[in-house]
């Protein structure tokens, strides 16, 4: 058992991983080990496969004179910058395509072509429509939905020349971006331009490539991601605080267990409707189960947890292990962060797997395509089949490794404002008084390079102990939730000032603000704080951290957060070490340009020190006590 402690700090992971090995199942950790040693060129970002004159590699040490240039003449700086920009483009494309799918649903709701979907938050629909200069007087919600979706479609193209939500940023930041020419003109345009610039023979200046990569990342943060968040709230409801549960213990031995995994709540919300249907519950009882239990994985899990308080079974590194419990009748996936290995693992158990998006298909996973028109019908079909699968369960192989831990969720910007009595002023007062020293977003993934959840939990514990309020998104939520940090009682682990504030408001010191696209909620709060205080974002005592990140999306987030003026600490080094210039720029030079830069620190204890020192520096800058 002791060897499993090296992989994760979580009991449920350790025990289930042990069972996986006993069952002969290969997991992400096993494959990670098999991939060692890693290619030092790829690790440093100096291998180039952009054209077929190569592939080329530059000696990252610079010692081999014959390996200073690729066949085309690109040096390490150009190759690293191009590779980095392409990673950022992929992250931006992922979040933004998710947003585009929601625009399509909103449009079809307006047209009456999306049965089962509806507009849940009409107040927000009107508020966002106003931001898009849509006159909402004398027109119905359906027509507003059509007009808003059409206006948002323009954000994706080159019709407008400037993203709508970019103007949420403080004016000082906008002036800086204008001066640097990094204001995103259109969401798709910036991603497409990154691909163009990084084609062989186009942009060969590492600085200019990186500045465009920043613009591309801003197109995600203030474009694709922000649209995704706002539209999810409009269509599925703006989250409100409430309680739920987290870890593999949320699976129930005497129920049909259905898991949803991925990112876009368009599928998971519809499955949520189907499992509540009386006929489905009756069918489950007829098959010998006590009911149907829905739980989430990864970010779509965060989405339905935030809105419906549906429990969260695990984060990224738990997705394969969920099946090892032997009680999962089905996993329904949409897109992003879905390991292609899932179908392979399912071969060893009775779990049925379904893919639902025409752009995300997987080996050994059955495809049941969801569209806005058929989603309701397909959700019922899958839920029915999942219930029928209950009878195929092998009772001798059941293993639920833990009891669930309670967590609190639902901290949308609107919910936070409501808790604060309608404005951010009480938060600003608490920051000024030093009760809350600062605010830090702890976000992102799991990565087998880091002991699962160790990076998140250690960092969060140290920050809250220093009176720093933490906001979590993505897979960091599961870590915080499992460690009990998302309950109001966790105030006992906070410093005296934060403890007092949490006690008064009855909130945890680590707030669950949503999925990864919901990092836009953190950006909205940062912009609103800066606007309320009358300073640029880089002057605020705030920071970001992604202690266990793995995905291109996380890197894109780090870039738009940094470009917004927020110092961001990464727990895993991006593949840029082969270029001294790009590395120096990312980890210090950008500070002179954006007022913030990235830092890389795998040790969460040291990361906490870096962030705390940064908060102290920013407080001093504002003339606040430290
Ligand atoms: O978008 S935190 S592992 S699930 S990439 Fe993926 Fe990372 Fe989890 Fe969510 Ni975000």
Instruction: Summarize pLDDT for 262-274 with one digit per residue, the tens.
Output: 999 999 999 999 9
Å from CA of 355 to ligand 1 middle = 18
Give 336's pLDDT tier (boundaries 50, 70, 90): very high
Mean pLDDT, the chain, rounded, equals: 97
* Cβ-proximal residues to 89 (8 Å cutoff; 6+ apart), any chain: 190, 191, 194, 195, 213, 216
DSSP β-ladder status, 405-409 and 242-246: antiparallel
Give 591's pLDDT tier (boundaries 50, 70, 90): very high
Is ligand 1 within 6 A of the CB of residue 514?
Answer: no
Residue identifier of the C-alpha nearest atom 6 of ligand 1: 337
Cα 529 to Cα 160, 413, 579, distances in angstroms:
28, 12, 36
* Cβ-proximal residues to 305 (8 Å cutoff; 6+ apart), any chain: 244, 296, 311, 312, 409, 477, 512
Q: Is residue 505 classed exposed, middle or buried when 0-12, 13-18 and 19+ CB atoms within 10 A define those classes?
A: middle
Q: How many CA atoms lie within 13 A of 580 on its CB side?
A: 4
Is ligand 1 within 6 A of the CB of residue 445?
Answer: yes
Q: What is the pTM of this model?
A: 0.98
Å from CA of 550 to ligand 1 middle = 8
Give 18's pLDDT tier (boundaries 50, 70, 90): very high
Distant-in-sequence contacts of 107-110, Cβ < 8 A, 24+ apart: 107/145, 107/146, 107/149, 107/150, 108/372, 108/373, 109/142, 109/145, 109/235, 109/372, 110/142, 110/143, 110/144, 110/145, 110/146, 110/149
Quote the distance between the C-alpha of residue 148 and its chain's center.
25
pLDDT of residue 16: 98
Ligand 1 atom showing the smallest separation from residue 446 Cα: 3
Is ligand 1 within 6 A of the CB of residue 481?
Answer: no
pLDDT of residue 502: 98
pLDDT of residue 362: 98
DSSP β-ladder status, 312-314 and 598-600: unpaired
For the segment 42-63, what is each residue's pLDDT rounded down to a tens digit? 999 999 999 999 999 999 777 8
For the segment 146-156, what is each residue's pLDDT rounded down to a tens digit? 999 999 999 99
Is ligand 1 within 6 A of the CB of residue 477?
Answer: no
> For a substitution probing ligand 1, which of 337, 342, 558 has the most ligand atoms within 8 Å of its CB?
337
Is ligand 1 within 6 A of the CB of residue 299?
Answer: yes
Closest among 464, 461, 473 to 437, alpha carbons compared: 464
For the segment 163-219, what is each residue's pLDDT rounded down to a tens digit? 999 999 999 999 999 999 999 999 999 999 999 999 999 999 999 999 999 999 999
Residue identifier of the C-alpha nearest atom 4 of ligand 1: 298
Is ligand 1 within 6 A of the CB of residue 337?
Answer: yes
Quote the distance between the C-alpha of residue 224 and its chain's center.
13
pLDDT of residue 481: 98
Is ligand 1 within 6 A of the CB of residue 554?
Answer: yes
Is ligand 1 within 6 A of the CB of residue 298?
Answer: yes
Is ligand 1 within 6 A of the CB of residue 475?
Answer: yes
Cβ distance 455 to 608 under 8 Å? no
pLDDT of residue 51: 98
Ligand 1 atom showing the smallest separation from residue 473 Cα: 2
Å from CA of 263 to ligand 1 middle = 8
Is ligand 1 within 6 A of the CB of residue 551?
Answer: yes
pLDDT of residue 65: 76
Ligand 1 atom showing the smallest separation from residue 476 Cα: 2
Strand-by-strand arrangement of the 242-246 sheet: 366-367, 352-355, 328-333, 256-261, 292-297, 312-314, 242-246, 405-409
* pLDDT higher than threshold 80 for residue 475: yes
Please confirm whether the linkage preceding 183 is cis (ω < 30° from 0). no
* pLDDT higher than threshold 80 for residue 344: yes
Write the secondary structure of 85-113 as one string of H (helix), E (strand) and C (coil).
HHHHHHHHHHHHHHHHHHHHHHHHHHCCC
Is ligand 1 within 6 A of the CB of residue 615?
Answer: no
Cα–Cα dist 474/301, whole Å:
9
> For a substitution probing ligand 1, which of 232, 246, 298 has the most ligand atoms within 8 Å of its CB?
298
Residue identifier of the C-alpha nearest atom 3 of ligand 1: 445
> For a substitution probing ligand 1, which of 516, 517, 518, 548 has the most ligand atoms within 8 Å of its CB?
516
* pLDDT higher than threshold 80 for residue 66: no
* pLDDT higher than threshold 90 for residue 615: yes
Give 298's pLDDT tier (boundaries 50, 70, 90): very high
* pLDDT higher than threshold 80 for residue 485: yes
> In the numeric block, which tokens belong to residue 578?
């082969």
Q: Phi first, then psi: what are they for 242, rounded to 5°?
A: 180, 180
* Cβ-proximal residues to 83 (8 Å cutoff; 6+ apart), any chain: 45, 48, 575
pLDDT of residue 386: 98
Positive or negative, the Cα torsion across 323, 327, 330, 331? negative
* Cβ-proximal residues to 196 (8 Å cutoff; 6+ apart), any chain: 202
What's 152's DSSP letter? H
For the segment 427-446, what is each residue's pLDDT rounded down to a tens digit? 999 999 999 999 999 999 99
pLDDT of residue 62: 74
Cβ distance 224 to 383 under 8 Å? no
Q: Phi first, then psi: what are they for 580, rounded to 5°?
A: -60, -40
Cβ distance 215 to 191 under 8 Å? no
Cβ distance 127 to 233 under 8 Å? no
Largest CA distance in the chain: 73
Is ligand 1 within 6 A of the CB of residue 316?
Answer: yes
> For a substitution probing ligand 1, which of 312, 444, 544 has the most ligand atoms within 8 Å of its CB?
444
Is ligand 1 within 6 A of the CB of residue 479?
Answer: no
Cα–Cα dist 461/453, whole Å:
12
For the segment 527-552, what is each residue's pLDDT rounded down to a tens digit? 999 999 999 999 999 999 999 999 99
* pLDDT higher than threshold 80 for residue 1: no
Ligand 1 atom showing the smallest separation from residue 515 Cα: 9
Indicate the SS3 state at residue 405: strand
Write the secondary structure of 195-251 as one string of H (helix), E (strand) and C (coil).
HHHCCCCCCCCHHHHHHHHHHHHHHHHHHHHHHHHHHHHHHHCCCCCEEEEECHHHC
Å from CA of 104 to ligand 1 middle = 23
* pLDDT higher than threshold 90 for residue 420: yes
* pLDDT higher than threshold 90 for residue 316: yes
Ligand 1 atom showing the smallest separation from residue 444 Cα: 2
For the segment 353-379, what is each residue's pLDDT rounded down to a tens digit? 999 999 999 999 999 999 999 999 999
Residue identifier of the C-alpha nearest atom 7 of ligand 1: 445
Over range 495-500, report the average pLDDT: 98
């Amino acid at each position: 058992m002791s060897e499993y402690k090296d992989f994760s700090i979580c009991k449920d992971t350790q025990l289930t991983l042990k069972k996986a090995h006993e069952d002969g199942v290969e997991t992400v950790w096993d494959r990670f080990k098999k991939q060692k040693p890693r290619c030092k060129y790829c690790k440093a970002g100096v291998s180039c496969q952009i054209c077929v004159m190569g592939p080329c590699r530059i000696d990252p040490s610079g010692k081999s004179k014959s390996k200073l240039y690729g066949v085309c003449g690109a040096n390490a700086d150009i190759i690293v910058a191009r590779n980095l920009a392409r990673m950022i483009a992929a992250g931006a494309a992922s979040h933004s395509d998710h947003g585009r799918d929601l625009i399509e649903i909103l449009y079809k709701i307006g047209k009456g072509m999306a049965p089962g979907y509806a507009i849940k938050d009409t107040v927000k629909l009107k508020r966002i429509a106003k931001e898009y200069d849509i006159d909402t007087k004398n027109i119905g919600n359906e027509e507003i939905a059509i007009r808003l979706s059409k206006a948002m479609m323009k954000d994706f193209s080159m019709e407008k020349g400037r993203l709508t939500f970019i103007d949420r940023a403080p004016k000082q930041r906008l002036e800086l971006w204008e001066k640097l020419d990094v204001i995103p003109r259109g969401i798709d345009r910036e991603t497409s331009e990154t691909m163009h610039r990084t084609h062989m023979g186009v942009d060969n200046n590492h600085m200019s490539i990186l500045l465009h990569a920043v613009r591309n990342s801003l197109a995600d943060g203030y474009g694709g991601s922000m649209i995704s968040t706002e539209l999810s709230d409009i269509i599925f409801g703006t989250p409100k605080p409430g309680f739920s549960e987290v870890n593999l213990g949320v699976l129930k031995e005497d129920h049909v267990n259905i898991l949803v995994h991925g990112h876009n709540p368009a599928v998971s919300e519809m499955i949520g409707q189907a499992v509540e249907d009386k006929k489905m519950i009756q069918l489950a009882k007829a098959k010998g189960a006590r009911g149907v239990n829905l739980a989430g994985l990864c970010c779509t899990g965060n989405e339905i947890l935030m809105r419906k308080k549906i429990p969260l079974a695990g984060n990224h590194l738990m997705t394969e292990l969920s099946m090892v419990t032997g009680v999962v009748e089905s996993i329904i996936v949409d897109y992003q962060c879905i390991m292609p290995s899932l179908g392979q693992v399912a071969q060893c158990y009775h779990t049925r797997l379904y893919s639902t998006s025409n752009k995300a298909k997987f080996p050994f996973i059955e495809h049941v395509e969801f569209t806005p028109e058929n989603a309701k019908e397909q959700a019922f079909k899958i839920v029915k089949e999942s219930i029928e699968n209950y009878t195929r369960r092998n009772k001798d192989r059941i293993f639920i490794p833990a009891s669930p831990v309670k967590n609190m969720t639902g901290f949308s910007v609107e919910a936070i404002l409501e808790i604060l009595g309608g404005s951010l002023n009480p938060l600003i007062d608490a920051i000024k008084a030093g009760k809350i020293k600062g605010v830090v977003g702890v976000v992102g993934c799991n990565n087998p390079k880091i002991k699962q959840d160790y990076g998140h939990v250690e960092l969060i514990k140290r920050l809250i102990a220093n009176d720093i309020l933490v906001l979590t998104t993505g897979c960091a939520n599961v870590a915080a939730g499992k460690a009990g940090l998302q309950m109001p009682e966790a105030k006992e682990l906070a410093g005296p000032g934060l403890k007092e504030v949490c006690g008064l408001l009855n909130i945890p010191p680590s707030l669950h603000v949503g999925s990864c696209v919901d990092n836009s909620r953190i950006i909205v709060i940062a912009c609103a704080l800066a606007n309320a205080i009358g300073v640029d974002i880089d002057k605020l005592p705030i920071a970001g951290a992604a202690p266990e990140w793995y995905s291109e999306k996380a890197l894109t987030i780090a870039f738009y957060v940094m470009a917004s003026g927020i110092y961001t600490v990464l727990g895993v080094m991006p593949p840029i070490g082969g270029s001294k210039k790009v590395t120096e720029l990312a980890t210090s030079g950008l500070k002179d340009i954006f007022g913030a830069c990235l830092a890389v620190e795998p040790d969460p204890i040291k990361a906490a020190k870096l962030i705390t020192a940064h908060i102290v520096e920013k407080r001093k800058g504002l003339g606040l006590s430290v």
